[in-house]
Amino acid sequence: MPSNTFDQIVGLFHGSDEPVDLAAERANAATVGALYQAVPGVTDELMAELRAGSYLMTPEEPREDLVIVLMHGGGFRSGNAAMVRPLGAALASGTRARVILPEYRLAPENPYPAAVTDCLDAFDHAATLAPNVVVIGESAGANLAAAVLLQRREQALAGVLLCGVFDLREDRFHTGSWVERADTEHLLKAHLGPQMRIDYLGTRPADDPLVSPVLADLRGLPPLLIQVSSAERLLDDSLNLATAAARAGVHVELDVWPHMFHCWQIAAGFLPEATEAATRLAAFVNRVAEGRFVDGAALSTGPAIP
């Protein structure tokens, strides 16, 4: 059963299904981002090298071989890097890696591919700081992370995709888990899927693999961890992407949690389930960094059979 803290949080989500004004949505996100309290042992500072509002989370005695890029969600139209600082701090503590939280241009003012371009810039900057870069994203940020992995598949060390939207075709928001999980979804309202699709794409086709990664050629992607809640509308996106990745020969790990609300991981340090999720993410990153995964070099040192 979920924790008492979980029950308290979801009690705040229940309200009208009516669309929220975009300005109010962004203001709410800014309020959430401002609630962050510094985590001992991890410093956070604004980054002048990337778009305004980007952060760098640095643990004590950071490792020099690895940097993480963590992309925030918000349906491509709201959200901000400040909101994911709790998760960024947990990952920095758990991996001893620096964590970049890039800000990117939002739709509808800046539709696709503006956000992808900004996230690619963040990856390329991260690659100047360490030889290995892990790409992580939550919700719409997981879509952007997948696009970055597709564009930088030969350079990225690994990808972690949290509660992502991986299929922006119109039918997606009228079938499957988007409608079947209406009674258990705590956060995503029915109108949000079609709205973000319109805002992000405009008149652009949704079958572009950088927009709908479930349609992409996933061969050659680095190891993936996909984490999602079985109670949320976007369940099918993660299940379908995991299946496609597995069929493409990608090392993929799927972590499905019951009960959780969409992107519960960003409440790390406050919500027990989010802290545990972040611990699992850090363990995956550490394993990959050490080569302990399928096809990993660290697994090839055992004795040979005569």
Please list the active-site residues: 139, 232, 262
How far apart CA 250 and CA 235 sit, in angstroms, is 20
CB 134 within 8 A of CB 68: yes
Looking at the chain, the number of H-run helices and the number of E-run strands are: 9, 8
CB 240 within 8 A of CB 167: yes
Q: Which two tokens stand for residue 181?
A: 């999980």
CB 213 within 8 A of CB 143: yes
Closest to 144 (Cα-Cα) out of 207, 72, 221: 72
What's the angle, vertex CA 277, arms to CA 136 and CA 127, rounded to 5?
20
To which residue do tokens 């794409």 refer?
201
How far apart CA 297 and CA 26 sit, in angstroms, is 45
Amino acid identity at 237 = D
**Strand partners of residue 58:** 43
Phi-psi region of 169 (alpha: psi -120 to 50; beta: other; left: phi over 0): beta
